[in-house]
Structure 1
Amino acid sequence: MNIEDYRTYCLSKQGVTESLPFPKLQNVLVFKVAGKMFTATDIDTFSSFSIKCIPETIDDLRAQYSALEEPSYFSKKHWSKVLVDGSIKDETLYSWLDISYDLVVSKLTKKQRRLLQQQ
């Protein structure tokens, strides 16, 4: 996966927006659905990206995949940093992006989910 594949995939999801929201971290690209972040990456290096994870499975995934690490800036219980080092198949990376997106959507209000489906 490269940064363009990552970006295209994220933007293909319903209701997703992209932004560079951090003035002190101007190279951090964030993807949100309904204003809630589901993934972020450094656009200068694309050496990793952060994803939201299911808290009950996060430790098992980190044990199984050495390229899955605790994040630097996010909750270690809910987020993981994924190293883009070629050790994980793209299909798996895409499925993790799906899970991250779905976790955020599941926390939206019914009204927000209904509006999202209409987009």
Structure 2
Amino acid sequence: MDIEQLRQYCLKKPAVTETFPFDADTLVFKVLGKMFALFPLEKWEAGEGWVNLKCDPEYALELRAEYESIQPGWHMNKANWNSVLIYKGELQTKFVLELIDHSYDMVVKAMPKKLRNELL
């Protein structure tokens, strides 16, 4: 799977925008202004693509125990974010897309009801 495939998947979700709030290398996807996916473009260009995704803390621990390619979120809150190492080839595309869905849903779930209603 490549970054363009993942980018298009993220952009198809309701109220998603892409931005570079930190630097020209970190592509960030937000839903109504809240981050749910971060892609370090320099790593993708070097063949070491990965993505940071928000995750339920208990589920994050389960995933890290089961998959070598899922680690605590690099430069993120380790309890709530995972770094998903795509380049290792361990994870199936369908599963990575499910992790993106989970991240998006976690962010939406934490929003005030008024913002969640804007998505409907």
Tell me, yes or no, if the aligned pair for 2:27 and 2:38 is still in contact at 8 Å.
Answer: yes
Question: How far is the alpha carbon of 1:57 from its aligned partner?
Answer: 1.6
Residue 58 of structure 1 aligns with which residue?
60
One-letter amino acid of the structure 1 residue matched with residue 119 of structure 2: L
Query: Normalized against structure 1, the TM-score is what?
Result: 0.93
Partner SS for 1:45: helix
Residue 34 of structure 2 aligns with which residue?
36
Unaligned stretches of 5+ residues in structure 1: none
Partner SS for 1:30: strand
* Residues 1:88 and 2:86 aligned together: no
Deviations 1:52-98 (A, max 9, x none): 01111211110100000112210010000000121100000000000
Measured on the aligned residues, the alpha-carbon RMSD in Å equals: 0.9
Tell me, yes or no, if the aligned pair for 2:19 and 2:29 is still in contact at 8 Å.
Answer: yes
Residue 75 of structure 2 aligns with which residue?
73
Question: How far is the alpha carbon of 1:110 from its aligned partner?
Answer: 1.2
Runs of 4+ in 1 over 3 A off after TM superposition: none
What is the aligned length? 115
Partner SS for 2:119: helix
More helix by share: 2
Give the share of equivalent positions with the same residue, in percent.
Answer: 39
Partner SS for 1:87: coil
* Residues 1:116 and 2:91 aligned together: no
Query: Normalized against structure 2, the TM-score is what?
Result: 0.92
Question: How far is the alpha carbon of 1:45 from its aligned partner?
Answer: 2.5
